Structure 1
Amino acid sequence: MLKRFFILCSGADKTLLDTCSEGEQTKYVGVGATVFFTAVMAFIAGSYALYTVFDNVYFAVFFGIVWGLLIFNLDRFIVSTIRKRDNFRSEFLQASPRIVLAMIIAIVISKPLEIKIFEKEINTVLLKEKNEMAIANKNQVTNYFKGDVTKNQAEIDSIKANIKAKEKEVADLYQSYITEAEGTAGTKKMGKGPIYKEKRAAHDLALKQLDSLKTASTKAITEKEARAKTLQADLDKKVADSKPIIDGFDGLMARITALDKLPWLPSFFIMLLFLAVETSPIIAKLLSPRGEYDFKLEDNETALKTHIEQNVYQRNLQKQTDAGIYDQVYADLRDDKELYDYKRKAASELLKLQSDAYVEKQKNVM
């Protein structure tokens, strides 16, 4: 049962192969097994590749089955269409397009499996790239809000600076009228004279202005600080909104790019392995000597070709012979006097009828 299945996978003529030796059948069983297991690996690779893209097991398995069947059909076609001949050069030229196709298939199959094999290393590369992207994104968002944040903070600092300047002015006026009363500065006359009263009035006015400034400034600072919190919240929201996008940076293309950043030698050898598996049936057929199956297949094909060529030749010969016979028959009829008189009489009657019809037509016109 398994033997017949692998022979079916090899694309060989089962009826013809049954007439061959056991060794010849075993050779094609090996070819069919290679084709089958290549398709199985294609199924695994295709399923994993689609799972990394859509993150859906059912869809990935469905696509993997379709992809595996496609590779199976292509490999079976490639192997079954190679014909063994006595000239290796012509055989190689015949197989070269199929070898190129097999190489492309091997690369396509190997890449998703390489991604799976080096998954941990790829995750490390992706984590580093995600961190770099997160830092760059935060810096970009911060620079976007930097102008508004800086301007808002500068306005707060300006208001606070005005308050401090006014407080210093009030403190200086306080010190001025106190020293005036003590007689240690100003007029240096102890007591509360006219100068003291002027300085005290100036201090009281400045103190009232300070209170008014603090009241107005407190409201303005509260609004500015609230705006600062709003700007910070907007900045944090921007960063948070972009975080899922950065975290989702692990699709198929990202993993392929990350794989290229790893040392190339292990990945190269894995690709060579799949290339050897994919091309092994073709290479085996090219290098193996002509077997019993090849001779019988060539015999059947040449017998059919000879039969078709004979039929074509006979049809062409029959056509030429029939043409010669008909040429001779019509040549003999041309010299027949009775046939000539009969056709002459019929033609004469036809001309008379045409002439009478023309005359009647002209009378009607007139």
Structure 2
Amino acid sequence: MLKSFFILCSGADSKILDDCSPGEQNKYVGIGASVFLTALMAFIAAAYALNTVFDNIWIAVFFGIVWGMLIFNLDRFIVSTIKKTGSFKSEFIQATPRIILAIIIAVVISKPLELKIFEKEINQVLLEEKNDMTLANQNQILEQYTPEITAMEKEIADLQNAVKTKETEVNNLYDIYIGEAEGRTGTKLLGKGPVYKEKREKHDAALAELQTLKETNAKKISDLETKIDQLKSDYDTQVGETQPVIDNFDGLMARIRALGKLPWLPSFFIFLLFLAVETAPIMAKLLAPKGAYDFKLDDEELAIKTHITQNKTAREGMLQTDTVMNQRLYTELESDAELYDHKRKKAKDILKLQADAFYEKQKSVL
């Protein structure tokens, strides 16, 4: 049963192979097994690749089966359509388009398995890329808020400096009127005279202004700090909303690009392995000598071709004979008076009917 299945996979005619030797049958069993195993590997590769895309095992398995069947039919077609002619050069030229197709298939089925084999290395590359993207994303978002936050912080610093300047002024006025009272500065008269009272009043007025300035600036600073906190909260929210996009940056295309950043030599040898597997049935067919199956297949095709050629020749002869006979028949009928009179009578009747119909139509119009 397994032998029959692999012969079916090879695309060979089982009826012709039944009359061949066991060695000839085993050759096509091997070719069929190569076709089947290639399709099986294509199914595994496609299922894994699609699972990274859809993240659903059942969808991946379904489309993996479809892809495996497609590769199976293509390989079966490639092998079954290569005809043995006895000349390797002509057979290779015949198989060249099929070899190109096999290379394309090898690339397609090898890439997903490369992604699986180098999964840990790819994850490391993706982690580094995600970290870089996270920092870049944070910096880009921060650039949207930095100018406004910087302007508010500068405004807070200006308000605080205004209070400090006023405090310095009040302290200086305090030192002046105390020095006047103690006789150290100003009039240098000990006691609280008129000059002392004037300087004390100036200090008290500045102190009141300082108190008012502190209250006003404190409110302004509080409002600005609230706005800064809100902007920082908005920044954190936007970073949190965009981070999942970066965290999910591990799809098929991202993994393929990450694979391209790894050393190329291991991937190249894996590709060569799959290329060898994919082209194995074709190369086996090309390298194998022309066997009994090929001779019997040629004989059967030649018999069908000969039969069709004979039928075509017979039909052409019948057509030529029928044409000559018809020409002679109609030539003889040209001089037949009875046929002429009969046709003349019928033509006259048709003309009468046409005239009557035209008359009735014109009458109905009027």
TM-score range with shorter-chain normalisation? over 0.9
TM-aligned CA deviation for residue 345 of structure 1: 3.7
**Residue 320 of structure 2 corresponds to residue 320 of structure 1:** yes
Q: Which residue of structure 2 aligns with residue 54 of structure 1?
A: 54
TM-aligned CA deviation for residue 357 of structure 1: 8.5
Q: Which residue of structure 1 aligns with residue 93 of structure 2?
A: 93
TM-aligned CA deviation for residue 329 of structure 1: 3.4
Q: Which residue of structure 1 aligns with residue 262 of structure 2?
A: 262
Task: Tell me which of 328, 339, 344 is aligned to 1:343.
Answer: 339
Counterparts of residues 127-206 of structure 1 (less than 5 Å): 127-206=127-206
TM-aligned CA deviation for residue 130 of structure 1: 0.6
Tell me if structure 1 keeps the 8 A contact 2:16–2:297.
yes
Tell me if structure 1 keeps the 8 A contact 2:53–2:251.
yes
Paired amino acid for 1:255: R
TM-aligned CA deviation for residue 352 of structure 1: 7.0
TM-aligned CA deviation for residue 146 of structure 1: 0.7
Evaluate the alpha carbon distance shift between residue 103 and residue 356 of structure 1 in structure 2; reply closer, same or farther with a 3 A threshold.
closer
TM-aligned CA deviation for residue 89 of structure 1: 2.5
Q: Which residue of structure 1 aligns with residue 245 of structure 2?
A: 245
Evaluate the alpha carbon distance shift between residue 75 and residue 200 of structure 1 in structure 2; reply closer, same or farther with a 3 A threshold.
same
TM-aligned CA deviation for residue 355 of structure 1: 9.0
Tell me if structure 1 keeps the 8 A contact 2:6–2:32.
yes
TM-aligned CA deviation for residue 328 of structure 1: 2.9
Q: What SS does the corresponding residue of 1:113 show, helix, strand or coil? A: helix
- Separation (CA, whole Å) in 2 of partners of 1:77 and 1:181: 116
Tell me if structure 1 keeps the 8 A contact 2:82–2:95.
yes
Q: How many residues align?
A: 360
Counterparts of residues 13-92 of structure 1 (less than 5 Å): 13-92=13-92
**Residue 122 of structure 2 corresponds to residue 122 of structure 1:** yes
Structure 2: gaps (5+ residues): none
Identity %: 57
Q: What SS does the corresponding residue of 1:250 show, helix, strand or coil? A: coil
Evaluate the alpha carbon distance shift between residue 358 and residue 26 of structure 1 in structure 2; reply closer, same or farther with a 3 A threshold.
closer
TM-aligned CA deviation for residue 86 of structure 1: 2.2
- Separation (CA, whole Å) in 2 of partners of 1:319 and 1:203: 134
Instruction: Provide TM-score, normalisation by structure 2.
Output: 0.93
Deviations 1:138-171 (A, max 9, x none): 1111111111110110111111011101111111
Paired amino acid for 1:116: K
Evaluate the alpha carbon distance shift between residue 115 and residue 202 of structure 1 in structure 2; reply closer, same or farther with a 3 A threshold.
same
TM-aligned CA deviation for residue 323 of structure 1: 1.8
Q: Which residue of structure 2 aligns with residue 280 of structure 1?
A: 280
TM-aligned CA deviation for residue 348 of structure 1: 5.9
- Separation (CA, whole Å) in 1 of partners of 2:149 and 2:282: 69
Structure 1: gaps (5+ residues): none
Evaluate the alpha carbon distance shift between residue 357 and residue 275 of structure 1 in structure 2; reply closer, same or farther with a 3 A threshold.
closer
Q: What SS does the corresponding residue of 2:233 show, helix, strand or coil? A: helix
Evaluate the alpha carbon distance shift between residue 52 and residue 181 of structure 1 in structure 2; reply closer, same or farther with a 3 A threshold.
same
Deviations 1:86-129 (A, max 9, x none): 23222122211111111101100000100110001101111111
- Separation (CA, whole Å) in 1 of partners of 2:9 and 2:158: 84
Tell me if structure 1 keeps the 8 A contact 2:86–2:289.
no
TM-aligned CA deviation for residue 331 of structure 1: 3.7
- Separation (CA, whole Å) in 2 of partners of 1:5 and 1:237: 61
